Each structure stands twice: as C-alpha cells, then as structure tokens.
Chains A and B, each alone.
Chain A
Amino acid sequence: MTRWLLSRTAGGLLVLWAVATLIFLGIRLVPGDPAEAIMGGPGSQAPPEALEAARVEYGLDRPLPVQYAVMLGNLLRGNLGTSYSLRVPVADVVGEQLPGTLLLALLSWVLAWILALGLAVLTSLARGPRWRRVADRIGSGLEIVAAAVPHFWLGSVLVLVFATSLGWLPPVADDTAAGLVLPVLTLALPLAGFLGQIMRESLATALSSPFALAARARGESEAGVLLHHGLRHAALPGIGLSGWALGSLISGAVVVESLFARPGLGRTLLNAVTARDVPLVTGVVLVSALTYVVVMALADLAERLADPRISA
C-alpha cells in the first residue's frame, strides 16, 4: 500500500510538472505579446512606456529560461502568481471558483451514475430473450443519442423547453437549487449516455455468467443476484473511467458555465485563454490536473476494493 501511494504521488508530480512545462511553452508559441494581455488585451494601443512598465512588473523582460525557473520555483512554493487580467493572486481566483465547479461536476457525476445504472438495471429486468432484445435496443438507442449530443445544443434546448416555454426553471444559473437543475442536466445526460453503454453491457455479461447462474441455482432471487453480483461488475468499468469522466465534465463545464452564466473554473479558463492570461491559465490547468490525479488515484483505490482480483 505504501509503495502504491509513493508511486502514485511520484506519478502525479510528474504529470503536474509536464503540464506546467507544456503550458509555459505552449502559451509562448501563440502569437501576441503578454504585455499586451496585461494592458487589457491585444491591440490595446498601450503606449510603449506602459507596456514596458507591465513587462518589468511581471518579469517578462527576463530571458525565457529564467522565467521558466522562476515559475517552477514559485509553483514549488505553492505560489501560483498573479493573474494578468484580474490583477489578483491566481490562488484566490481558483479558490473562489473551484467549489462552484466541483459542486456542478459532482452533482452531474452522481446524476449520470444514477441514470446510467438505472437504465441498465431497467433493461436487465426484461423477461425473455425477445423482450430483452427490445429493451436493449431502446436503452442503447437512448444512450447513443444522449452521448452524442453536444453540451451546447443540449443546454440550449433545455433552456428553450424548461425556461422559455414552460417557465419552470430559470434560464440562467442563480444561487438557488432550481438554478442548478439545467446546468447539471446538461452535463449529466451525455455522460450518462457513455457510462450507460458500458455498464449495461457488463451488467448483461455478469448476469449471464457462470457465477450468476450458480447464485440463481443456490436459490438467490433475481434481485439478490443483481445486487450482489451484477452491479459490482457493472460498476467496475465505470469506476475505471472516472478520470476520463472528470475530464469530460471539466471541458463540459467550460461550455455550460458560459451558457448558463454560472461562475466557475470553466468560465475562468475560457476568459483566461482569450485574454492570454498566462498565470491564470497555468493555475486553472494545474488545479484541474491535480484534481484529475487525485480522482484517478481514488478510482484506482475503488477498483481495488470492488474487485478483489487486483492485489494490493
């Protein structure tokens, strides 16, 4: 277990370092002067004195290797720097925006699991091979549609139906629980489609496997077989995909937070990229990467607990 933890930590740090380096290089490959970004965006017509002042203030007048070393040193000390565009410490911005995005991602993730498992179980309840095939087709059809719709389109349609036409829910996110419903649905439905596809298949495999047959032969009820043997197997690939799911939720959050005017990390990232705000982009991406590393480790752990075949 200690070795597992050590190797996980080392791997995580390596990922973070690679991410930081890639952003540092990548953002300098795109055209545009960072000093311009500080001065309120490209083509700001900032006078040369002001541009020079900005360069000195943010250390942009120093050679690239020095800037890189300074950035790594700051990161090691946990200092994410100051945002060019917002002029406040990046850690503060991330600290402010992270909880909202995590809440959105977590709720969407839970809802996606409920929907995916629910649909998988529902279709597995069909009796007889013919009904089973029909239920499978319907379930799989729904999942493919859900998985294929882009967040932007889905969100717009949900707003049109539930906010504009029916007036049940607010069209833009507010602080109420009702304001969370549409953003969460927009994020959860496509993910549920993906997860459902995988889970239903492994659930079907599990329920027709020898150990399920043996359980039935022992006299266990169909519900018991489902609960004790089926779900555990169905969940395994889903757990393994948690890291990927998180990635999809974060990239989805960029769209959903903009669409529903909900503050959060996704929207921060979008604004930061448009403004060429190097420290903020670095900060947001690093925090996302860190979350990813942690979730992957947790998923790994969960997989070990759910599947005794993987030894510690």
Chain B
Amino acid sequence: MTTQRRHGTTRGPRLRQLAAPAAVVLASTLALSACSSGGTAEGGGEPVSGGTLVYASGDAEPTCLDPHVGGNYPQALLASQFLETLFTKDDGGEIVPWLATGAEVSEDGLTVTLELREGIEFTDGAPFDAAAVKANIEHVKDPETLSSTGYLAMAKVDTMEALDEHTLQLNLSAPDSALLESLSQPWVAMMSPAGLERGMEGNCAAPIGTGPFVVDSWTKQQSVALSRNENYTVPNPEAAADPEHTGPAYLEGIEWRFIPESAARYSALQAGTVDMIDNAQPDTIVAAEDDDAIEHLDAPRPGASNRIELNASKAPFDDVRVREAFIRSVNVDAAVKSLFFGTAERSYSVLSSVEPMGYSDESLFAYDPEEASRLLDAAGWDERDAEGYRVKDGERLSVHLPVSTNQSVPAEQSLFQQLQATAKEAGFEVTLELQDLSSWYEALGAHEYDLVSAPYTKVGPDVLRILFHSDSTVPAPSGYFANHAMVQDEEIDAWLEQAASTQDEAERADLYEKAQRKILEGFYVLPLYDQQNHFLYSGSLEGVGATTAVATPTFHDAWLAE
C-alpha cells in the first residue's frame, strides 16, 4: 500500500493537487511512504475515459444534498463532486480564486468587491453571474433555508449589490478577514438560481451546480447516482491538480453508496464491489497495509485539531495548576501509538496541521507524573483516599468526561480509557460516560463536564474565534456553545477580534500566534491529533488525491485503469 499524506505545517496543504503522472510534483507535495512492499508505483499511464467509480461512504446519509441546508461534513463530501465554490486553497494553503477571479477589500474592510469568472454555466444552462452569487448568499442567509454552517460563515455580509454582470459588491456589518476562507467551503457553494427557486424539497433532491458531475438520482438509504458534466471546464487551471486536464472528467459517473458498517465497507473494497471507501479506521488502515491492491489517502481536515478541552469555569479545573497537572499526568503519546497503530500523528496545536497559521509547542505537553504530583500538592490536593485518589477538604479529585459515540471513533474511546488509567496514577478520578449525540450535547449545555472532546471543521484560523472567544461561552438558544474550555480572557478576545478584522496578513498571523500561545500556556486544551480523514481505494483507481479546501476528495482527474 502507498500512503499519501499532506504536510500542512511545513508547506501548507496541497489541496487540488496533481496525483497521477508527474513524479516531481508528487515528490514535492506528497509524502509517499511505502508501507510494506515498497509501494505500487503511482501513475498507471495515460488516463482512460469512461467507467463508473463506486464510492462507499461510512458517514450518515445526508438528509439534503444541498449543503446550504444544515451544513455538515457528509454533505460537503458529496457536494464537492457537483458544486463548486468561489474560492479554494492552493498547494501552499493560500486562498485562490476558483469560480471568482478575485476580490478587492476596501480600506475600512467593510466593502468586498468580488470579480466573477465569465463564460461559466450551471448545468441547467443558466449563466454564472453576479445575480446568481447574490441569490446563493441570500439563500444561505435566509432563515427558511435552515442553514447553520453557511449561515455562520456569511454572518457579516449585510447587503449585496451587483455592480455589473460579473461584479458583486458585498457590504459587511464588520470587517471579516476570514470571508474568502469562508467562501472556499462547500457549505456556501454556488447553485443555479433556478434550482434554488424550486424550494427546499426540489433543491435537496438534486442541487444544480457547475461541478464536474451532475446529480442524476438519489435512492434513499442506498446511493446517489452522479453522471459526468459533459460541458465542464476547470475554472482556474492554475489552482487545479492537473493544469493540463481542463475538460470534462474522465469518469462517466460516480455511484455514491452508503455503507455504515466499517467492516462491511472494507470487505466491499477488498471484494472489488466498491472502488473507494471513507472513514477508514486504524485497524482497517493497518490491515490494508499488507494489501498491494489498496491505496491510502490521508487528508486531515482543516480547522481545529482533535483535542480534549478542560472546563476552566468550575472546580477543579478553574485552577491552572490542576489543569497543568492533568495534562502532565496523562500519557497521550503511548496511548496514541498503541491504539492508532501509527495512523495518527500526535498534535501539540489547537489547529489542524493543514492550517498554515497553526502554532505548536511540544514542550507544554510532555508526560511528567512527578511534575503533576508537585502541582497537585501545591494546589492543595495533597492527600489521598483509600483508593489512591487525591482529596482536598474531604472531596475527591474527580473529573467527568462525557464521550459522544458519534463523534469519537472506537479507537478514540479506547484512548480515553487509557488516559483515565494514567491519570489515576497521579490521583485523578476520571469518570467516562459514553453517550448518544443528543444526550452528549445536553450534558455540554448543562455544563455537566470537566473534560470534553468535540471536533470542529472550518477553513482558516478564524476557527479560534469560534472556539476560544468569550462570546462563545454564551449558549445559543439551542443551548450550544463552542468554547467548551470556557476560556474567558480579555486579551485573547481582543487579539482574536483584531485578527478577524485586519487586512494585513503578517499582523493577522502574529495575532493568531499570540492567542494560540496563551491558550496553550493556559492549559485549557490537550491536543491529541488532527481530525482523522482517511480514505482507502483500489489500486486500479488512478488520479486520486485532489481535495477541496475542507479536505473532501474530488474526482475530476480520477480514472479507472483496465
């Protein structure tokens, strides 16, 4: 098996990358690690047209194919095949135009003028123009669309005005340095206005976009059938994986199947029933290493890393010494190594390794039981009860960790158990509780947690504002708040606000670094690893590797070898 992995921290993600023929590009952008047999050679010759790719997704089947509605990762995975965004990320992690040609921001940051590409058509024949983009952003912002991810991303867009056919002016309520990053997410992808006008039911069933594939039909609980968009042209070849391949996709179509069971997905891949699977778990990835006919794509998601947050708003973690003691008392490295079999790399950052502005500090997270013990003594937890747990004023040092079985894969659940065991040696009692998604959110809303792990995907470092600004400690009407660590720090707030409004990239990077350093040094979070996003695919499937800004694979360059 050959593994492709992106090295985001050093070079930034290569997000629409060349996958097949050019070995030079491959060597510079992908780390090819041959697992068992020296790896099968990439690039199986000249691309062949035709054939249907059978893709098996382990994610929940979307209830609506329009990613404006709601807005989750399964929707993004599927929509990336038939919808496109105004902007995308290039191999350096830079935001580059895709359906747009550029954007100009006014001095005060309150006016953004989008220049749109000419000559692009939606698959219903409607032109892609300023009116269409306006209709899309209005659709996202309309409460009746029931958008959540896209709605948050477009929150600062106040009014819009088409200056001419291909120029759209956005008037913002406040400067938003993350706007173009937001527009690179499939949750604000562009759809035909005529398609939107069909209403939610029609648009959910078959959104009309500009992408390389078109939705043909959707058999609920089974599959979505996509066919090639015969009129497709790559909007911006310079940012594309294969700049030479600008016409329609090689594949005739994609059969997008839903196979919820991890083991069933893998047996289907082995049997050749399907060509590619997602949500590959560590045990499966390791099993596939011995199989020369199966390849591996590792595409960490952007936004936050997977991390444990420590609730600093209540005892015992309202004391920074106790927070540090917990972090020093758990042996994360050993647990990750033994449970993920080397498929997950340890992170020391609150941001994903594909975020160029991520700041990492390994020294803060070394396993050090002696230091933990010293800190706990200093914090007044200097006695132990009969079971060996630390005690202060007759109360046991007990912390609660509710675990969502939806969000945490089995390997992660086992990881938490191992952390529980090492924390016990230092005198922490960690109570683990496995919960379904609703109960888990309920527990978070009611503040019934001291520790929690909650993933968050968003393009760009602005995710820090969502996760660590004190505004995010205030629950939305739904009871949800994203700042689980309950970081309430005026300095951090100010830095994050400034970073979100500055137009100066260097200043922005500096502000985000300051904020991240203070968050890490405050021991509010224990970073674990990137949000895992592993794909396995058949060796006869070539040209795989290109992804969107949110690390969902695209299949414009993919082809099936004989």
Chain A residues within CB distance 8 Å of chain B: 30-33, 35-36, 38-54, 85-88, 93, 96-97, 156, 159-160, 163-164, 167, 170-172, 174, 258-261, 263-264, 267-268, 271, 274-276
Contacts and interface: CB of A to CB of B under 8 A. Distances in A.
Interface stretch (B219-227, B415-423, B488-496): B219-227
Interface residues of B, number: 53
29 contacts: A31-B439, A35-B478, A38-B146, A40-B148, A42-B437, A44-B148, A44-B478, A45-B476, A46-B151, A47-B148, A47-B151, A47-B476, A48-B478, A53-B143, A86-B220, A87-B201, A93-B220, A159-B267, A160-B267, A163-B267, A164-B270, A171-B268, A172-B257, A261-B257, A261-B260, A263-B219, A263-B222, A271-B60, A275-B63
Contacts of B149: 45
Contacts of A171: 264, 267-268, 270-271, 273
Contact of A159 (B56, B71, B263): B263
Nearest to A86: B63
B64 A87 contact: yes
Q: What are the 7 A-B residue pairs with the smallest beta carbon separation, nearest first?
A: A40-B70, A32-B438, A263-B221, A171-B267, A31-B442, A49-B143, A261-B259
Contacts of A42: 437-438, 440-442
A85 B63 contact: yes
B512 interface: no
Interface in B241-288: 257-261, 263-264, 267-268, 270-271, 273-274
Q: Which of B71, B72, B267, B444 has the most chain A CB atoms inside 10 A of its CB? A: B267
Contact of B221 (A31, A53, A159, A268): A268
Given A38-B146, A45-B480, A164-B267, A170 B63 contact: no
Q: Tell which of B144, B148, B258 has the most Cβ of chain A within 10 Å.
A: B148
Given A45-B480, A48-B476, A96-B220, 4 more contacts: A42-B440, A87-B63, A167-B271, A275-B63
Given A40-B71, A43-B478, A167-B271, A32 B442 contact: yes
Contacts of A51: 477-478
B78 to A, nearest CB: 14
A256 to B, nearest CB: 10
Interface string B462-500: 000000000000001111101000000000000000000
B450 interface: no
Contacts of A263: 219-222
Contact of A274 (B143, B145, B437, B444): B437
A33 B437 CA distance: 12
Nearest to A270: B260
Nearest to A45: B148
Interface of B: 56, 60-61, 63-64, 69-72, 143-149, 151-152, 200-201, 204, 219-222, 257-261, 263-264, 267-268, 270-271, 273-274, 406, 436-442, 444, 476-480, 482
A68 B82 CA distance: 42
Contacts of B436: 274
Contacts of A160: 267
Contacts of A93: 220
A147 B437 CA distance: 33
A261 B63 contact: no
B12 to A, nearest CB: 27
Contacts of B60: 271, 274
Nearest to A170: B273
B143 A261 contact: no
A47 B143 contact: yes
Given A36-B478, A171-B267, A258 B261 contact: yes
Nearest to A88: B201
B532 to A, nearest CB: 20
Contacts of A159: 263-264, 267
Contact of B69 (A40, A97, A264, A275): A40
Given A44-B70, A171-B267, A87 B204 contact: yes
B155 to A, nearest CB: 9
Contacts of A47: 143, 148, 151-152, 476
Given A263-B219, A263-B222, A48 B264 contact: no
Contacts of A46: 70, 146, 148, 151, 478
Contacts of A276: 438
Contacts of B260: 258, 261
Contact of A172 (B72, B273, B480): B273
Contacts of A35: 478
A170 B269 CA distance: 11
A163 B221 contact: no
Contacts of A88: 201
